[in-house]
């Protein structure tokens, strides 16, 4: 159990904490990516702003209110009720966007002909409203049948011009003379010569119908309350042409006032029409009665009737007048009932029936008008079977049922009054029958004339009252602010788009950095290795800043002793002295995951630096498959380790001397057919024993352990196993191999060297490693990656400085 716990403690990864300063440095290291992304986004934004048509907005304000005129009070008539007192703003919004109102508003504009000019951007056309660069007269025009397509005008000279257009699907190009009429399809034109002619300017024009602008106007019209539950509404019209937007918004507001007044006048107009129809009938009857009475008097030479007959006739006249008015009320009630059944808009009582009709009936009629109005508005959005429509229909049925029931009750009351008056009239008529025949006939004629005349006078008075009421009706709204052209575009939002492009550019730059880091499969720094394995790192070998030859013939640790590279190699040499310190002669095995990670390069330079401290070192090329050590020392590879292992030569015969004191080497020799078996042989072990007796350091350069198993027997018998990881070349998986091998073969002498390190903040780890606790004691080594010390002056050789480098002045 203790061994297991110890093993777990050894395999435990060190603690790592986020270093926010490193995070910032990562993004700053690629500031030009972020700057480039911002520049690209800004260019894209400016191109978008350049090519996108600008939209302008104009604003107007209206106040919805019921203006009361003094004329209806003067005439003593009932005020006209509001046709939409509930949900006023919503209802009036729908009214203002209705086809009929917009069509009438458009007709107030100079809409018949539109002129355009071809722009420089993508040949986009720009409307010139309200300007008219050409004087085009319509000689023949039918509003139902005219030429609709665009016509392109191009001047030729002072006397002629060309027009291009489409006719019957074909492109037509013709030349015309100024001030001479011509026909295009069913429409006749005449174009006067312009005062200034530019041959390079082309204009486009087309004829319009009011209906052509409805979708354009409605699409840009927005109406909303300025504050919740207020009666002030703000209107906005958006359009590519600011002057058109302003003109059409003012036209819509003006037309709404006209429309609203007409709707409010409709009740009084209906009453006047009803009275006119009755007056026409009574006028004929009065004339007939008057003629009949005069003719009867002339024939019988009767001047007047007796006093008794006069009283009877007067009473009968009053009764007949009352009966006639009641009959008119019946007609009005029947008309009202028919209108309600048909669900006619703006249903009203066309006659004053105070005392006969329940006052609640008028409220029910107003509510019915509002529901019918609301249903017609919703039908523009929903189909007839939609739930909102069904709900309103249900309410309409309930109100219709209540209203018709009240109407029937009122009709019964009128009929009872008529019956009562008829009974009274019968009694009077009976008295009249007792008069002399001539007097009786005269009384009948006079009574008929008087009744018709009284009813006619009464209806004339009511007509006058209705006319006074209609004249006093005012629109239910007031224009507070008329629209003015606004030449500052609201779309596209230039500042907003530029601001968004900067933010988007920053996000793209940061996202690109994050994406590259996520997609990166390679190890770049020691923090990455420390996060992947518990095997200690013995040192970091810096990347040599200049180009080096493929076979490391220079042995840079010797030829460039003052470079950072040489110092980093010496740092690894120092830390190696603490490993296997009880051994007088050490066997160091150097391997890596795959080829190309620099194990041979590290072996040559490390062996060279070890030889400088009076250590006898021999470098053995144990990669029998593709060793390059013979090229490093510039010797032929005809005899070597393979020759010794195959019993062809002795150890002394394969050992070669180098130009460096205390440094010998054994090259790999010819490639054998069975390299793995040779390295597993007893003769290899005997060779190592022999070499350890002669040399202080036996450094073995083996084959990549991730590709072949040749290095396994050498790793197991070595005192120190040095695993090389190359910055920017080795993948994350490579860092886990040393620990797996150490666990599999129970090795505690494995260390890692990070080779060819060059600071790359983009791929650097943003963690700081914290080594604390007993499990890390004696396991980790001090070393530096020399980042930031390149310009310290310690690693500069005068021979490497250029003539113009100022640092030559400070070197002695």
Does 236 have pLDDT greater than 60?
yes
Please tell me the least confidently modeled range out of 120-129, 172-181, 511-520, 732-741: 120-129
Please tell me the least confidently modeled range out of 308-317, 361-370, 418-427: 308-317
1 band by pLDDT with thresholds 50, 70 and 90: very low
3-class DSSP state for residue 159?
coil
9 band by pLDDT with thresholds 50, 70 and 90: very low
pLDDT given at position 419:
82
In angstroms, the Cα distances linking 256 to 11, 93, 98, 261, 488 are 84, 10, 10, 8, 27
- Other Cβ atoms within 10 Å of 799 Cβ, number: 7
Please tell me the least confidently modeled range out of 357-361, 722-726, 798-802: 798-802
Is beta strand 221-225 parallel, antiparallel or unpaired with respect to 203-207?
A: unpaired
Does 308 have pLDDT greater than 60?
no
pLDDT given at position 74:
40
pLDDT given at position 301:
47
| 285 vs 384, more confident | 384
3-class DSSP state for residue 519?
helix
pLDDT given at position 4:
41
Question: Of 25-29, 376-380, 387-391, 666-670, which has the strongest mean pLDDT?
Answer: 666-670
pLDDT given at position 267:
63
pLDDT given at position 3:
45
Output 123-131 pairs: Cβ under 8 A, ≥24 positions apart.
Answer: 124/53, 125/204, 126/240, 127/240, 127/241, 127/244, 128/203, 129/241, 129/243, 129/244, 130/243, 130/244, 130/247
User: What mean pLDDT value characterizes the chain?
Assistant: 80
Tokens encoding 771? 């080594």
Question: What mean pLDDT is predicted for residues 484-489?
Answer: 92
d(CA 365, CA 80): 13
pLDDT given at position 311:
65
Does 239 have pLDDT greater than 60?
yes
pLDDT given at position 88:
66
Please tell me the least confidently modeled range out of 65-79, 143-157, 297-311: 65-79
pLDDT given at position 179:
92
58-97, pLDDT tens digit by residue? 999 998 876 554 444 444 444 444 443 445 677 788 888 8
Question: Of 219-233, 273-287, 299-313, 777-791, which has the strongest mean pLDDT?
Answer: 219-233
pLDDT given at position 665:
95
Is beta strand 221-225 parallel, antiparallel or unpaired with respect to 15-18?
A: unpaired
Question: What mean pLDDT is predicted for residues 570-585?
Answer: 88
Does 106 have pLDDT greater than 90?
yes
Question: What mean pLDDT is predicted for residues 561-585?
Answer: 87
749-777, pLDDT tens digit by residue? 999 999 989 888 888 877 777 665 555 44
The rounded percent of the chain whose pLDDT value lies above 90 is: 35
727 band by pLDDT with thresholds 50, 70 and 90: very high
pLDDT given at position 653:
92
Nearest CA to 462 among 720, 624, 275?
A: 275
- Other Cβ atoms within 10 Å of 111 Cβ, number: 19
Greatest Cα pair distance, the chain, in angstroms, is 178
| 302 vs 241, more confident | 241
Fill in the DSSP letter of residue 762: T
Does 432 have pLDDT greater than 70?
no
Question: What mean pLDDT is predicted for residues 731-760?
Answer: 90
Output 274-279 pairs: Cβ under 8 A, ≥24 positions apart.
Answer: 274/332, 274/335, 274/350, 274/351, 275/459, 275/462, 275/463, 275/466, 276/463, 278/328, 278/331, 278/459, 279/456, 279/459, 279/460, 279/463
Q: What is the DSSP string of 658-694?
A: -SSTTEEEE---SPPS-HHHHHTSHHHHHHHHHHHHH
- Other Cβ atoms within 10 Å of 69 Cβ, number: 15
pLDDT given at position 298:
55
Q: How many Cα atoms occupy the beta-carbon half-sphere of 767 within 13 Å?
A: 15
- Other Cβ atoms within 10 Å of 134 Cβ, number: 16
Q: What is the DSSP string of 163-220?
A: EEEEETTEEEEEEEETT--EEETTEEEEEPPPSS--TT--EEEEE--GGGGHHHHHHH
Alpha-carbon Rg of the chain, whole angstroms? 55
486 band by pLDDT with thresholds 50, 70 and 90: very high
Does 546 have pLDDT greater than 50?
yes
Q: Which residue has the tokens 């019968």?
A: 426
36 band by pLDDT with thresholds 50, 70 and 90: very high
CB 529 within 8 A of CB 609: no
Question: What mean pLDDT is predicted for residues 479-505?
Answer: 92
| 400 vs 650, more confident | 650
3-class DSSP state for residue 624?
coil
Does 2 have pLDDT greater than 50?
no
Please tell me the least confidently modeled range out of 104-113, 308-317, 424-433, 801-810: 801-810
pLDDT given at position 72:
42
Does 591 have pLDDT greater than 60?
yes
The rounded percent of the chain whose pLDDT value lies above 70 is: 75
Nearest CA to 214 among 108, 115, 109, 99?
A: 99
Nearest CA to 274 among 328, 324, 325, 327?
A: 328
Please tell me the least confidently modeled range out of 13-22, 338-347, 396-405: 338-347
Does 40 have pLDDT greater than 50?
yes
């Amino acid at each position: 159990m203790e061994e297991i716990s110890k093993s777990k403690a050894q395999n435990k990864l060190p603690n790592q904490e986020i270093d926010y300063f490193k995070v910032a440095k990562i993004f700053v290291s690629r500031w030009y990516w972020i700057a480039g992304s911002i520049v690209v986004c800004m260019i894209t934004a400016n191109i978008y702003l350049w090519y996108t048509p600008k939209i302008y907005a104009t604003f107007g304000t209206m106040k919805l209110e019921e203006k009361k005129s003094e004329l209806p009070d003067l005439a003593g008539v009932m005020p006209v009720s509001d046709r939409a007192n509930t949900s006023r703003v919503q209802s009036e919004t729908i009214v203002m966007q209705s086809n009929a109102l917009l069509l009438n508003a458009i007709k107030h504009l100079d809409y018949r002909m539109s002129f355009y000019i071809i722009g420089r951007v993508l040949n986009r056309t720009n409307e010139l409203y309200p300007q008219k660069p050409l004087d085009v007269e319509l000689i023949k025009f039918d509003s139902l049948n005219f030429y609709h397509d665009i016509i392109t005008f191009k001047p030729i000279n002072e006397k002629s011009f060309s027009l291009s257009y489409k006719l019957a699907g074909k492109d037509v190009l013709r030349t015309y003379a100024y001030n001479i009429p011509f026909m295009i399809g069913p429409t006749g034109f005449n174009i006067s010569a312009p005062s200034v002619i530019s041959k390079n300017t082309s204009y486009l024009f087309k004829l319009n119908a009011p209906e052509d602008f409805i979708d354009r106007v409605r699409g840009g019209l927005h109406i909303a309350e300025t504050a919740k539950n207020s009666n002030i509404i703000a209107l906005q019209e958006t359009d590519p042409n600011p002057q058109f937007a302003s003109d059409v918004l003012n036209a819509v507001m003006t037309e709404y006032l006209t429309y609203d007044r007409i709707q409010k006048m409709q009740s009084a107009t209906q009453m006047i029409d009803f009275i006119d129809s009755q007056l026409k009938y009574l006028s004929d009857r009065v004339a007939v009665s008057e003629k009949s009475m005069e003719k009867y008097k002339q024939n019988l030479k009767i001047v007047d009737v007796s006093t008794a007959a006069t009283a009877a006739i007067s009473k009968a006249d009053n009764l007949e007048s009352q009966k006639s008015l009641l009959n008119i009320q019946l007609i009005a009630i029947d008309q009202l009932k028919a209108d309600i059944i048909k669900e006619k808009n703006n249903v009203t009582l066309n006659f004053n029936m105070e005392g006969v009709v329940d006052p609640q009936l008028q409220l029910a009629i107003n509510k019915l008008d509002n529901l019918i109005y609301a249903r017609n508005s919703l039908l523009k959005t929903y189909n007839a079977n939609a739930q909102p429509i069904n709900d309103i229909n249900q309410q309409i049925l309930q109100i219709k049922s209540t209203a018709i029931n009240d109407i029937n009750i009122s009709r019964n009351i009128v009929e009872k009054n008529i019956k009562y008056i008829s009974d009274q009239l019968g009694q009077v008529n009976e008295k009249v029958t007792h008069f002399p025949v001539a007097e009786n006939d005269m009384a009948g004629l006079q009574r008929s004339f008087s009744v018709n005349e009284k009813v006619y006078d009464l209806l004339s008075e009511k007509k006058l009252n209705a006319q006074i009421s209609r004249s006093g009706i005012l629109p239910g709204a007031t224009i507070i602010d008329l629209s003015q052209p606004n030449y500052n575009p609201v779309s596209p939002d230039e500042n907003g788009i530029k601001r968004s492009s900067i933010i988007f550019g920053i996000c793209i730059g940061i996202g690109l950095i994050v994406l590259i880091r996520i997609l990166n499969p390679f190890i770049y720094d020691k923090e990455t290795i420390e996060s992947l394995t518990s095997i200690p790192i013995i040192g970091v070998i810096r990347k040599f800043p200049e180009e080096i030859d493929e076979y490391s013939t220079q042995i840079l640790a010797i030829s460039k002793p003052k470079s950072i590279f040489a110092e980093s190699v010496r740092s690894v040499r120092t830390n190696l002295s603490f490993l296997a310190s009880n051994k007088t002669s050490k066997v160091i095995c150097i391997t890596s995951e795959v080829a190309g990670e620099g194990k041979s390069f590290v072996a040559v330079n490390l062996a060279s630096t070890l030889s400088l401290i009076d250590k006898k070192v021999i470098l053995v090329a144990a990669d029998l498959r593709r060793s390059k050590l013979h090229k490093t020392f510039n010797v032929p590879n005809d005899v070597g380790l393979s020759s010794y292992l195959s019993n062809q030569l002795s150890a002394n015969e394969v050992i070669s001397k180098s130009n460096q004191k205390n440094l010998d080497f054994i090259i790999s020799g010819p490639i054998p057919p069975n390299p793995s078996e040779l390295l597993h042989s007893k003769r290899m072990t005997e060779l190592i024993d022999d070499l350890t007796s002669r040399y202080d350091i036996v450094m073995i350069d083996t084959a990549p352990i991730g590709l072949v198993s040749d290095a396994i027997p050498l790793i197991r018998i070595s005192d120190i196993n040095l695993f090389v990881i190359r910055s920017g070349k080795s993948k994350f998986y490579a860092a886990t191999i040393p620990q797996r091998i150490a666990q599999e073969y129970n090795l505690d002498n494995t260390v890692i060297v990070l080779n060819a390190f060059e600071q790359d903040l983009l791929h650097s780890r943003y963690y700081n490693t914290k080594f604390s606790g007993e499990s890390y004691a004696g396991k980790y080594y001090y070393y530096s990656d020399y980042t930031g010390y390149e310009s310290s002056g310690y690693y500069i050789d005068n021979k490497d400085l250029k003539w113009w480098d100022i640092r030559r002045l400070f070197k002695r």
